[in-house]
Amino acid sequence: MTLDRVACVVNPAAGDGEGREMLADLRETFACEVTATVTDGPGEVPAAAHASADADLLVVVGGDGTLGEVAGALVDRSAPPLFVVPAGRGNSVYRHLYGDADWRALARRLAGGVAAHPLDVGEIRAEPPVDRRYFVLGFTAGLFRRALDAADSLRALPGPLAYLLGTARAAVSEPPLTVSASVDDSERFAGEARLVAVGGGRYRGSAFELLPDARPGDGRLHLLVVESTSAREWLRLARLARRGDHVDHPAVHYHTGKSVDLRGEGLPVEADGTPLGGLRDVRLDVRPGAVRVARPVEWR
């Protein structure tokens, strides 16, 4: 597919606030009409995504959370394929979709032609209800939600390093969860856990292969549960997770399916890096190919 119009949704506050500069680079890259909406907050993202439905390509300039907001707004709608410019701190979805490819070089290849590929979206139903209904990267309970607060106090550091240090701090200071987890209505875990992660994104914090079997458009949710362990053992698991080797650890449970149910009391959770309130019941379902992602026509 050749491009006649490219639309952009820009989060100017993502990462180090370089969204506007990235937008200027995009305007120089695409030899066609490029329109842009620079948002003032997440509440403006759905409207900006809907207004871009007639474009040939929709570029999301932001982080994992911004992409999740755009994708969620386009579920069950006719929409162009998405390309994410990694302007956030973690940019895990970008790495999941495009590996280590330089985004500017990839944009130049997209300018020569776009192929659309399916991208799954996870749907959230919870008690008490939450504002965020969909996710692309993942949904977690426990350590990562608590680590987000710790990482936010380390914003002067690069995103992956702040995330690692925030996780280490939370592992030392925060208690485990008491939780049960079921996949496709079959219980897979019940007890104390440090972390429960569900999603379709392979990476977290960009550097960690948290769900190593996940692939874009595989039509499944991947569940990972890490039992309560010592802080020292958690740090060992974090090192193993940089290569996806943690799934062989005896404290780790890994399953896949179409739906995941979590039960607990006051579960501290987050979705696509956005903190959510304490929950007791969560139902997560995969929406296979709910949106499309853009890749160059010659992508391998």
Rounded CA separation 75/136 (Å): 11
Please, where in the chain does CATH 3.40.50.10330 lie? 5-119+290-296
Weakest-pLDDT range from 13-22, 66-75, 115-124, 189-198: 13-22
Task: Specify whether the CB–CB gap between 245 and 169 falls below 8 A.
Answer: no
Fold of 5-119+290-296: Rossmann fold (3.40.50)
Average pLDDT over residues 274-297: 94
What is residue 197's predicted lDDT score, i.e. its pLDDT? 96
pLDDT tens digit sequence for 106-161 = 999 999 999 999 999 999 999 999 888 999 999 999 877 666 665 555 455 555 55
Rounded CA separation 113/128 (Å): 45
Average pLDDT over residues 217-241: 90
Rounded CA separation 158/204 (Å): 14
**pTM for this predicted structure:** 0.89
Residue 157 DSSP symbol: S
By percentage, how much of the chain surpasses pLDDT 90? 62
Average pLDDT value for the chain: 88
Q: How far is CA 145 from the centre of its chain?
A: 13
pLDDT tens digit sequence for 163-188 = 566 666 666 567 789 999 999 999 99
Distances from the Cα of 278 to the Cα of 68, 130, 281, angstroms: 20, 10, 10
**Does the pLDDT of residue 235 top 90, yes or no?**
no
Give the architecture-level CATH label for domain 122-289: Sandwich (2.60)
Weakest-pLDDT range from 68-72, 148-152, 200-204, 258-262: 148-152
Please, where in the chain does CATH 2.60.200.40 lie? 122-289
Residue among 175, 176, 212, 213 at smallest CA distance from 196: 176
Task: Specify whether the CB–CB gap between 257 and 220 falls below 8 A.
Answer: yes
For 77, counting Cβ atoms within 10 Å of its Cβ (0-12 exposed, 13-18 middle, 19+ buried), the class is: exposed
For 131, counting Cβ atoms within 10 Å of its Cβ (0-12 exposed, 13-18 middle, 19+ buried), the class is: exposed
